[in-house]
Amino acid sequence: MEYLEFGKKAPDFDGMKWVISAIAKAKVKQYKRTECVYINDKKIVGNDGCRLHILDSELEYPPGLYKVVVNRKDKIVLEKTTAELLDYAAWEKVVPISANYETIEVVYNEEISVAYTKIIRSLEDKYTLRYNYLYDALYGESSFTVHIYKGQELIVCEDNKKKAIIMLLRL
């Protein structure tokens, strides 16, 4: 078995914690692959079917699908799996390329509820956003940019190394 281990002082530890926050928890998973992290080139991706977290790493890791074996505040261990990459193979197709969006700059040191309110007020009336998904996407950043795509049911939150795509809920 092939393992990747990250200690608290590892360069991508915080980013990996952030990616892991977007994978399905065992009791809600629909597909076995959604409880894994996908690594390709310098991209680390986590997905639960409703959100996608993408980390741009400065380091290269062996590509593949990795199951999260240990996820503690001081240590992360990933085990390479032989599961098919069906759900992750086309993750890049989810990243919107349209230029039809509204941008909101949010400073995280405001209350997260203030950021959430700004975003909700910018959405069309027929959509809403899961608060906990936004919280996970923005966790730990001092500021970020939110793109609200018109005509698509998603928002994109990003800074210079992280990009979170969150599907909106229809009311």
pLDDT of residue 151: 79
Residue with the bigger pLDDT between 106 and 131: it is 131
The dihedral over CA atoms of 129, 67, 162, 158, expressed in degrees to the nearest 10, equals -10
List of residues 6+ apart from 144 with CB closer than 8 A:
105, 106, 108, 138, 157, 158, 159
Instruction: Assess contact for 163 and 120: CB atoms under 8 A.
Output: no
pLDDT of residue 84: 67
pLDDT of residue 44: 95
How does pLDDT run across 26-69, given as a tens digit for each residue? 554 454 556 789 998 899 999 888 899 999 999 999 998 999 99
pLDDT of residue 12: 94
The Cβ of residue 144 has, within 10 Å, a number of other Cβ atoms equal to: 20
For 131, left (φ over 0), alpha (ψ -120 to 50), or beta? alpha
Instruction: Assess contact for 36 and 30: CB atoms under 8 A.
Output: no
How does pLDDT run across 114-123, given as a tens digit for each residue? 889 989 999 9
- Could you give phi then psi for residue 132, rounded to 5 degrees? -65, -30
Q: Global pTM?
A: 0.89
The dihedral over CA atoms of 158, 22, 14, 68, expressed in degrees to the nearest 10, equals -150
- Is the per-residue pLDDT at 22 higher than 60? yes
Chain-wide mean pLDDT for the chain?
86
Q: Which string of DSSP letters, residue by residue, matches 38-63?
A: EEETTEEEEE-SSEEEEEE-SS----
